[in-house]
Amino acid sequence: AGDLTIQLPNPSNTHSSLMSTVRAINLVLPETEVYLAGSNIEGQLVLNLRSTLVDPVVKVELVGRGYLRWLEEENPEWDYEKSVACTNQAVYVSKTQNFHIEDGWLDSGVHTFDFHFNFPPSIPSTFNSKIGCISYFIQGTCCSGQVILAKEERYLLLQGIATCFAFLFTLSMQAPLVVEARKDIVYFCCFRRGSVILRISLEKNKFCPGETIVFKTDIANRTCKYVRKIHFALHCIVLYRGFSSRGEPCFLEDQSEVTRFESQTDTAPFEAMRITSALLLPKPMPVTSTVTENKIMAFRYELVGTSSLPCTTSTIVARVPIIIAA
């Protein structure tokens, strides 16, 4: 009797054959730079096949999530250093649209699938820092069984809206619209005293992303030297809430500059000057919020004016709380 040889299919060859079936996969999205929380997004998933695909799974997902991580010293009193990682994460949106494949197969050629999603109204804005991030993306996938044949992701910029209106109303009523800072100087070289007064005035303290903050600054120079310049910046103060490996809550506050500019004043000795300035807010940007709203981080803002005092190493700083609400 002759030998009987049975040729079994090679799984790797089958996988390669499936992978080569998809020529291209593309997400077609509207030309929208920034999406607003509570709005809709519509688009198309375009699938280009080289050959017939049997029992495919074609879907589009909308995903939004936040993540943070930082290291802090576990016990400063110990003789050796030991850092513990504080982490946290949150899911803000997770939606999937599976497409029905008629007859259970797709012929070779181009196939177009329309999709539609709604953004929840209470999700936070896109955000990124060295400690944490909040990101949103659309993902289109074509699968066969457990094998992913093709996938494409497109990240989205999203602007959150203020949800805790009572909290913002209270802040807007209590936050001062005029802030004054004073710094006294003693010049030991000539045994003279002086002072610089910096006053920042705003007509309102609540702004929307993309809006321009217009404010006036009064400088009273009561020294014998020139006050040359003032730096203005909008600071974003973020409070992060994480958990240690033992499940203990931990908090970290971090500050960064959103936007800034420098104004040349050249205020003469014993003179006063008023300047009008403007800061353009970016879009998107996180709105003023609490940790309860965003789950893992909270945001607040300050308009800060800083000037170096003449012939000293000291500076004068005036801070005005600003509310960002879309």
Q: What pLDDT, on a 0 to 100 scale, did the predictor assign at position 184?
A: 86
Query: CATH no. for residue 186?
Result: 2.60.40.640
Residues 307 and 177 reside in one and the same domain: yes
Residues 186 and 298 reside in one and the same domain: yes
First vs last Cα of the chain: how many Å apart? Answer: 84
Average pLDDT per block of 10 residues along the chain, 326 residues long: 49 55 95 94 96 94 97 69 88 97 92 97 95 97 91 97 63 72 76 84 93 94 87 97 92 95 89 93 94 92 90 86 91
Q: What pLDDT, on a 0 to 100 scale, did the predictor assign at position 40?
A: 96
Tokens standing for residue 176: 């001062």
* Boundary residue ending a domain (103, 124, 159): 159
E-strand ranges in 12-122 read 22-28, 35-36, 40-49, 53-54, 56-73, 83-98, 105-106, 109-118
- Asked whether residue 91 is domain-assigned, the answer is yes
DSSP codes joined into one string, 129-161: -SSEEEEEEEEEEEEETTEEEEEEEEEE-EE--
Q: What pLDDT, on a 0 to 100 scale, did the predictor assign at position 165?
A: 55
For residue 250, what is the DSSP state?
A: E
**Helix then strand then coil, % of the chain, to nearest 5:** 10, 60, 30
- Residues found in the chain: 326
Domain limits at 251? 165-324
Q: What pLDDT, on a 0 to 100 scale, did the predictor assign at position 188?
A: 60
Q: What pLDDT, on a 0 to 100 scale, did the predictor assign at position 87?
A: 96
Q: What pLDDT, on a 0 to 100 scale, did the predictor assign at position 200?
A: 95
- Asked whether residue 6 is domain-assigned, the answer is no
Residues 191 and 125 reside in one and the same domain: no
Residues 224 and 286 reside in one and the same domain: yes
* Boundary residue ending a domain (109, 140, 159): 159
Closest CA to 326 of 168, 129, 90: 168
Q: What torsion, rounded to 10 degrees, do the Cα atoms 119, 207, 241, 176 define?
A: -150
Number of domains in the chain: 2
What pLDDT, in 10s, does the model give residues 189-230?
556 778 899 999 999 989 999 999 999 999 999 888 888 899
Tokens standing for residue 300: 């607040």
Helix (H) or strand (E) holding 172: helix 165-174
What pLDDT, in 10s, does the model give residues 289-298?
999 888 999 9
Residues 137 and 275 reside in one and the same domain: no
- Asked whether residue 10 is domain-assigned, the answer is no
Residues 190 and 214 reside in one and the same domain: yes
- Asked whether residue 4 is domain-assigned, the answer is no
* Boundary residue ending a domain (140, 159, 178): 159
Residues 174 and 155 reside in one and the same domain: no
Residues 131 and 181 reside in one and the same domain: no
Round to whole Å and give the CA distance between 65 and 43: 21
Q: Exposed, middle or buried, 145 (CB in 10 Å: 0-12/13-18/19+)?
A: exposed
Q: What pLDDT, on a 0 to 100 scale, did the predictor assign at position 6?
A: 46
Residues 55 and 100 reside in one and the same domain: yes
Residues 142 and 104 reside in one and the same domain: yes
- Asked whether residue 213 is domain-assigned, the answer is yes
| Angstrom distances, CA of residue 242 to CA of 204, 211, 295, 321 | 34, 32, 10, 25
Rg of the Cα trace of the chain? Answer: 29
Residues 276 and 147 reside in one and the same domain: no
Round to whole Å and give the CA distance between 159 and 287: 8
Round to whole Å and give the CA distance between 140 and 157: 18
Q: What pLDDT, on a 0 to 100 scale, did the predictor assign at position 145?
A: 83
Residues 170 and 112 reside in one and the same domain: no
- Asked whether residue 8 is domain-assigned, the answer is no
Cis-peptide, bond into residue 284, ω within 30° of zero: yes
Round to whole Å and give the CA distance between 309 and 228: 9
- Asked whether residue 3 is domain-assigned, the answer is no
- Asked whether residue 129 is domain-assigned, the answer is yes
Q: What pLDDT, on a 0 to 100 scale, did the predictor assign at position 5?
A: 46
Q: What pLDDT, on a 0 to 100 scale, did the predictor assign at position 304?
A: 96
